[in-house]
């Protein structure tokens, strides 16, 4: 079980801000692949991962990072603070 959280237009496309996901995915990329296969709204949100950023337990990470030991995965577009 992993907590998956979404922000900005990723959240809007998926329709929920967070959810618990039952998964055996080894990497972030594997998890994205799994979610894409679930429903259209996930396929829409993850259509172009180069437009997305990922954080693992609240630290910026990469799509090829391992998920072992990770409790929270966040997907969002590039930040626009400041």
Partner 1 sequence: MRVRVQEAPFDAGAELDAFTHGRREVGAVVSFTGIVRDTKGGLIRMEIEHYPGMTEKAIAGIAEQAMVRWDLADLLVIHRHGPLPVGQPIMMVATAAAHRRAAFEAADYLMDYLKSRAPFWKKEVTEADEAWVEATPEDEDALSRWQR
User: Contact positions toward partner 1, by CB under 8 A?
Assistant: 5, 7-9, 11, 55, 58-60, 74, 76-82
Smallest CA-to-CA distance from 45 within 23, 75, 2 is with 75
CB closer to partner 1 out of 32 and 52: 52
- What is the 8-class DSSP label of residue 79? P
Rounded CA-CA distance 19/80 in Å is 24
Q: How far is CA 39 from the centre of its chain?
A: 14
State the nearest-atom distance from the C-beta of 56 to partner 1, in Å. Answer: 10
State the nearest-atom distance from the C-beta of 51 to partner 1, in Å. Answer: 9
Rounded CA-CA distance 65/54 in Å is 10
State the nearest-atom distance from the C-beta of 40 to partner 1, in Å. Answer: 20
CB closer to partner 1 out of 18 and 36: 18
């Amino acid at each position: 079980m992993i907590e998956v959280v979404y922000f900005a237009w990723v959240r809007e496309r998926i329709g929920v801000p967070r959810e618990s996901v039952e998964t055996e995915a080894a990497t972030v990329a594997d998890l994205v692949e799994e979610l894409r296969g679930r429903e259209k709204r996930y396929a829409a949100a993850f259509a172009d991962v180069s437009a997305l950023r990922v954080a693992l337990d609240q630290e910026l990470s990469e799509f090829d990072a391992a998920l072992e030991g990770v409790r929270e995965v966040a997907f969002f577009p590039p930040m626009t603070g400041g």
